[in-house]
């Protein structure tokens, strides 16, 4: 593919038709706008958005399949960037968040909805507002970060000049969230002391756990105190994606609980043996690769499911999910890319991600 005549800033959005979905996801992560332009025989073939990839994952499509198999060839594009009324109408009257600009079936530019309304027209009407509270589960001992958490609660683990819990709150604030509940138990006085000197526009309430209640037990406090859907986040994770899209997914599909999952790619660095029943070797596969959907620790819950959480008893989110499945409740999974989930709950991950977060902030 000859891209020498393409603007440098749009080259990063281009992938070839035969590229794998998994590798294309990495390109999309690096480009950072949730869209790829698919080329075939040196011209634009179609587009793939993060939503297209998410739907493919939920359908069980093999991530080693070529990206061309899930490409949208019936997409909106323009050839003239001067007609701002046309651009505005496309964004307001369609679901498009990106408009490729093509000339002779080659990509020359991409117009992004947020840039168009925020940066060009300074419009506040575009803002994606999530009118729902957030619960941050900060009551755990943080045993994976021992001995550090013998001194400091994991919610206050520093990343540059901010503790992790403040970064989590700031991420939600980008979508208009101001109401936070924080569940506390281990070293709760230190967490409360931090927020006593914390100056912000956030409304913060504490859920005091008299005993460790697991990853879901503290939510019982909210029963009859909250009447809207709400986010739940562990205090040692950062999710870097569009929270408004998670919210829309939850509401559109009418889920009772939605969990955010991350696609993790693992390579077994050995030959893996498969045996016959008599112990004879059937096959051996050298360094096989696997893709998994892993629970990140972020959820959206409807308030009516709080009735299934026992009072004053340790109860994990996995227990709640199992209970909801038995009650025939509807549970959704919202997949995000591997790079979009940052878990600093163990030392190896903390060391790996701290420099990355510093660079991004």
| Predicted confidence (pLDDT) at residue 186 exceeds the cutoff of 50 | yes
Give the per-residue pLDDT at 265. 83
Give, rounded to a whole angstrom, the gap between the first and last alpha carbons of the chain.
35
The listed range with the strongest mean pLDDT (138-147, 213-222, 261-270, 338-347) is 213-222
* The 3-state secondary structure of the chain, one letter per residue: CCCCCCCHHHHCCEEECCCEHHHHHHHHHHHCCCEEEEEECCEEEEEEEHHHHHHHHHCCCCCCCEHHHHCECCCCCECCCCCHHHHHHHHHHCCCCEEEEEECCEEEEEEEHHHHHHHHCCCCCCCCCCCCCEEEEECCCCHHHCCHHHCCCHHHCEECCEEHHHHHHHHHHCCCCCEEEEEECCCHHHHHHHHHCCCCCCEEEEEECCCCCCCCHHHHHHCCCCCCCEEEEECCEEECCCHHHHHHHHHHCCCCEEEEEEEEEEECCCEEEEECCCCCEEEEEECCEEEEEEEEEEEEECHHHHHHCCCCCCCCHHHHHHHHHHCCCCEEEEEECHHHEEECCCHHHHHHHHHHHHHHC
Question: Would you place residue 67 in the very low, low, confident or very high pLDDT band (cuts 50, 70, 90)?
Answer: very high
The mean per-residue pLDDT over the stretch 298-305 comes to 98
352 compared with 94, residue with greater pLDDT:
94
Question: How many residues in the chain?
Answer: 361
Give the per-residue pLDDT at 124. 46
The listed range with the strongest mean pLDDT (121-125, 158-162, 230-234) is 230-234
Question: Would you place residue 320 in the very low, low, confident or very high pLDDT band (cuts 50, 70, 90)?
Answer: very high
The Cα–Cα gap between 159 and 165 comes to 10
Q: Which position has the token pair 């901010």?
A: 162
Helices 21-31 + 50-58 axis angle, to 10? 150
- Give 14-56 pLDDT, tens digit per residue: 999 999 999 999 999 888 889 999 999 999 999 999 999 999 9
CA neighbours within 13 Å on the CB side: how many for 188?
Answer: 14
The mean per-residue pLDDT over the stretch 82-102 comes to 88
Domains of the chain: 8-120 (3.10.580.10), 134-360 (3.90.550.10)
5 compared with 45, residue with greater pLDDT:
45
Closest-CA residue to 164 (of 137, 144, 189): 137
Closest-CA residue to 203 (of 231, 233, 180, 237): 180
Give the C-alpha distances (Å, rounded to integers) separating 129 from 32, 89, 113, 172, 318. 21, 21, 15, 10, 29
The mean per-residue pLDDT over the stretch 81-110 comes to 88
| Predicted confidence (pLDDT) at residue 4 exceeds the cutoff of 50 | no
Specify whether the CB–CB gap between 336 and 241 falls below 8 A.
yes
Give the C-alpha distances (Å, rounded to integers) separating 241 from 39, 115, 164. 26, 17, 17
The mean per-residue pLDDT over the stretch 279-295 comes to 89
Specify whether the CB–CB gap between 61 and 21 falls below 8 A.
yes
Question: Would you place residue 358 in the very low, low, confident or very high pLDDT band (cuts 50, 70, 90)?
Answer: low
52 compared with 159, residue with greater pLDDT:
52
**Mean pLDDT computed over every residue of the chain:** 88
Give the C-alpha distances (Å, rounded to integers) separating 270 from 64, 179, 263, 273, 286. 20, 49, 22, 9, 6
Give the per-residue pLDDT at 125. 47
| Predicted confidence (pLDDT) at residue 346 exceeds the cutoff of 80 | no
| Predicted confidence (pLDDT) at residue 218 exceeds the cutoff of 80 | yes
The mean per-residue pLDDT over the stretch 74-94 comes to 86
The Cα–Cα gap between 65 and 269 comes to 22
| Predicted confidence (pLDDT) at residue 261 exceeds the cutoff of 80 | yes
């Amino acid at each position: 593919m000859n891209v020498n005549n393409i603007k440098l800033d749009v080259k990063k959005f281009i992938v070839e038709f035969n590229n794998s979905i998994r590798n294309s996801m990495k390109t999309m992560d690096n480009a950072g706008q949730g869209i790829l332009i698919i080329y075939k025989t040196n011209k634009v073939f179609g587009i793939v958005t993060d939503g297209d990839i998410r739907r493919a994952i939920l359908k069980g499509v093999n991530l080693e399949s070529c990206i061309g198999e899930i490409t949208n060839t019936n997409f909106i594009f323009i050839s003239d960037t001067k007609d701002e009324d046309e651009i505005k109408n496309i964004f307001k009257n369609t679901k498009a968040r990106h408009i490729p600009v093509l000339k002779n079936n080659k990509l020359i530019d991409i117009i992004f909805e947020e840039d168009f309304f925020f940066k060009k027209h300074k419009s506040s009407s575009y803002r994606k507002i999530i009118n729902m509270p957030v619960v941050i589960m900060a009551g755990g001992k943080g045993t994976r970060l021992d001995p550090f958490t013998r001194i400091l609660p994991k919610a206050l683990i520093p990343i540059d000049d901010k503790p992790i819990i403040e970064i989590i709150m700031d991420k939600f604030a980008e979508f208009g969230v101001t109401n936070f509940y924080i569940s506390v138990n281990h070293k709760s006085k230190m967490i409360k002391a931090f927020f006593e000197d914390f100056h912000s526009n956030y409304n913060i309430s504490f859920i005091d756990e008299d005993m460790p209640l697991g990853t879901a037990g503290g939510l019982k406090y909210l029963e009859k105190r909250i009447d809207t859907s709400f986010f739940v986040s562990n205090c040692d994770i950062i999710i870097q994606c569009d929270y408004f899209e998670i919210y829309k997914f939850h509401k559109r599909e009418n889920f009772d609980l939605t969990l955010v999952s991350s696609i993790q790619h693992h390579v077994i660095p050995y030959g893996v043996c498969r045996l016959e029943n008599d112990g004879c070797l059937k096959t051996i596969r050298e360094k096989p690769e696997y893709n998994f959907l892993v629970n990140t620790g972020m959820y959206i819950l409807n308030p009516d499911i709080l009735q299934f959480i026992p009072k004053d008893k340790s109860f994990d989110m996995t227990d709640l999910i199992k209970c909801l499945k038995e009650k025939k409740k509807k549970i959704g999974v919202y997949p995000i890319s591997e790079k979009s989930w940052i878990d600093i709950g163990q030392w190896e991950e903390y060391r790996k991600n701290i420099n990355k977060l510093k660079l991004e902030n």
